């Protein structure tokens, strides 16, 4: 059974934080789905990921592309990822279920801590997932580096 890791973004935006987390997930040998709520936003994020440093090529693609199933990192708005992901990164308030946490190696929930509605949504997700018995960790970058601020054991 996996765990949900909540990343409270306060210093760096999603497009700066996501590549680091994706590299770590790929380094662990995981296929990843990045789930958002809006196709246009996923297309924008796709363009941002292509603008990364040349030495840090991050293989990825959109779920609407012809070779979606072959992508190590797939950007999608759908619940099911065609690439067989074992790691889910939920962005922009995309929903995550306890069942997904249970079947994935890891679920990451990235949220903008400077947006009150995003913060409220993440708090609701934390409560729902931990009450369902999911293990969870809460990470904050408020001090300038990532620190684990809370942890709940799963049942």
Closest CA to 31 of 94, 110, 88, 80: 88
The architecture that CATH gives domain 3-152 is: 3-Layer(aba) Sandwich (3.40)
Share of the chain above pLDDT 70, in %: 96
**Model pLDDT for residues 41-83, shown as the tens digit of each residue:** 999 999 999 886 666 678 999 999 899 999 999 999 999 889 9
Q: What's the predicted TM-score (pTM) here?
A: 0.94
φ and ψ of 80, to 5 deg? -100, 130
Closest CA to 73 of 7, 18, 16, 22: 22
Contacts of 120 (CB under 8 A, 6+ apart): none
Angle between helices 39-50 and 14-27 (to 10 degrees): 70
Q: Is residue 151's pLDDT more than 70?
A: yes
Separation of alpha carbons 136 and 155, rounded Å: 11
């Amino acid at each position: 059974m996996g765990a949900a890791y909540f990343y409270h973004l306060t210093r760096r935006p999603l497009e700066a934080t996501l590549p680091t987390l994706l590299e770590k997930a790929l380094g662990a040998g995981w296929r990843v789905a990045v789930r958002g709520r809006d196709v246009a936003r996923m297309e924008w994020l796709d363009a941002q990921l292509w603008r990364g440093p040349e030495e840090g090529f991050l293989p990825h693609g959109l779920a609407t592309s012809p070779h979606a199933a072959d992508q190590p990192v797939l950007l999608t708005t759908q619940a099911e990822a065609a690439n067989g992901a074992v790691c889910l990164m939920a962005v922009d308030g995309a929903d995550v279920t306890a069942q997904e946490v249970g079947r994935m190696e890891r679920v990451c929930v990235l949220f903008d801590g400077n947006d009150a509605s995003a913060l409220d949504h993440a708090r609701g997700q934390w409560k729902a997932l931990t009450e369902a018995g999911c293990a969870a960790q809460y990470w904050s970058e408020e001090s300038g580096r990532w620190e684990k601020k809370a942890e709940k054991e799963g049942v």
